[in-house]
Copies of this chain bind each other. A is one copy, B any other.
Amino acid sequence: MRTEIATLGEFGLIRHLTEGIKPSNKSTKYSIGDDAAVLSYPADKEILITTDLLLEGVHFDLTYVPLKHLGYKSAVVNFSDIYAMNGTPRQITVSIGLSKRFCIEDMEALYAGIRLACEEYGVDIVGGDTSSSLTGLTISITCIGEGEKGKVVYRNGAKETDLICVSGDLGAAYMGLQLLEREKAALRGKGEDVQPDFAGKEYLLERQLKPEARRDIIQKLHEAGIVPTAMMDISDGLSSELLHICTQSHVGCRVYEEHIPIDYQTAVMAEEFNMNLTTCALNGGEDYELLFTVPITDHEKIQDMEGVKLIGHITKPELGCALITRDGQEFELKAQGWNPLKDEKDANPPVE
């Protein structure tokens, strides 16, 4: 079924998509329907703001990304940024630009994904903008969250001897992307009824198509009484993010190859693609795991935490940032993460 968007118009479409949305957060005082949303936060909270712009053909490929998944992911990547400040996401605004190629049912699917993510994470949709575009789909989401005063965690607080930790495992989302790209190329011209076989690779696809933000880790850190000295989420690859933390904190680091958490499916796929597994884990993007540093005095607490791995430690700045390989060699860490402005024709993470 395909209903043209023109039948509803801008206000009609917004009303249709946001129907039945009820704010669940106390801090949401007035949501959709006025010149601005009105929020009210208590004085002991700091307010966190993050925003992401997603453009068709650059950040997503609708030939293999279902719109509902895209909506879910668009919201979750913003939540991830708020958790990475040791905060809690509370509201989002959703702006969408869409060409005539899209119909109301498409927008319903996209919005269903956004609304599902908001339900899962307890976030309110409080506003946005909807417009036609001449080409493709544009999604711009801004997320507002809260952090306890004095407990917001920045990138610039890592100190010498701090332990470097990472949640979950790395490289799987990137492998999922490679897999989807390969199937897309293989299926081209074979007709629409050919279904690719992804058996045994579900985890990779899920990591790419439906990532989750690590609210659980923030909760565990809170329960364990640990406030990281620095933290960020891994969206452009571990190397790139580690360099951000080290640059902003004016420190160096040592990371151990053998400790970088990698899932079995990621390893199998890297071999299948004849790619260096560590490079994938270091430079593959879109993991949305948390990278953080804690004081060495938290060593015992953190080493037993499920879902967290110690991968190295912070050093004096003079020592630079290096990876220690399994055979004991030191390699300088370089940011080879995803850079959507470096070269438009090759928007995927360069992996050597």
Residues on A lying within 8 angstroms of B by beta carbon are 5-6, 8-11, 13, 29-30, 33-43, 46-53, 55-59, 81-82, 84-85, 87, 91, 93, 95-97, 99-100, 126-136, 138, 140, 142-145, 147, 149, 152, 154-156, 231-233, 248, 339-344, 347
A131's contact among B9, B10, B34, B53, by CB below 8 Å, is which? B53
- Nearest 4 CB-CB pairings of A with B: A140-B140, A43-B43, A36-B50, A53-B95
A342 touches B10 (CB 8 A): yes
Assuming the contacts A51-B95, A57-B134, asked whether A38 and B46 have C-beta atoms less than 8 A apart, the reply is yes
Residues of chain B within 8 A (CB-CB) of A97 are 53, 55, 58, 138
A84 touches B35 (CB 8 A): yes
**Nearest CB to that of A57 among chain B residues?**
B134
B133 touches A36 (CB 8 A): no
B29 touches A46 (CB 8 A): yes
A49's contact among B33, B37, B81, B149, by CB below 8 Å, is which? B37
A143–B35 alpha-carbon span in the complex (Å): 11
Residues of chain B within 8 A (CB-CB) of A40 are 46-47, 149
State the oligomeric state as a number of copies: 2
A47's contact among B38, B57, B58, B231, by CB below 8 Å, is which? B38
**Nearest CB to that of A29 among chain B residues?**
B46
A41–B45 alpha-carbon span in the complex (Å): 9
Instruction: Kindly provide the distance from the CB of A109 to the nearest chain B CB, expressed in whole angstroms.
Output: 18
Instruction: Kindly provide the distance from the CB of A114 to the nearest chain B CB, expressed in whole angstroms.
Output: 14
A50's contact among B37, B143, B347, by CB below 8 Å, is which? B37
**Nearest CB to that of A99 among chain B residues?**
B344
A224–B136 alpha-carbon span in the complex (Å): 49
**Nearest CB to that of A143 among chain B residues?**
B36
B136 touches A135 (CB 8 A): yes
A100–B58 alpha-carbon span in the complex (Å): 13
A341's contact among B49, B85, B130, B140, by CB below 8 Å, is which? B130
Residues of chain B within 8 A (CB-CB) of A149 are 40
Assuming the contacts A43-B43, A95-B53, A140-B53, asked whether A339 and B9 have C-beta atoms less than 8 A apart, the reply is yes
B10 touches A340 (CB 8 A): yes
B341 touches A59 (CB 8 A): no
Residues of chain B within 8 A (CB-CB) of A339 are 9-11
A340–B11 alpha-carbon span in the complex (Å): 10
A34–B49 alpha-carbon span in the complex (Å): 10
A21–B30 alpha-carbon span in the complex (Å): 31
A142's contact among B13, B48, B93, B133, by CB below 8 Å, is which? B93
A106–B126 alpha-carbon span in the complex (Å): 33
A52–B96 alpha-carbon span in the complex (Å): 10
Residues of chain B within 8 A (CB-CB) of A130 are 341
Instruction: Kindly provide the distance from the CB of A108 to the nearest chain B CB, expressed in whole angstroms.
Output: 15
B129 touches A233 (CB 8 A): no
Residues of chain B within 8 A (CB-CB) of A135 are 134-136
A56 touches B134 (CB 8 A): yes
A81–B127 alpha-carbon span in the complex (Å): 12
A248–B9 alpha-carbon span in the complex (Å): 19
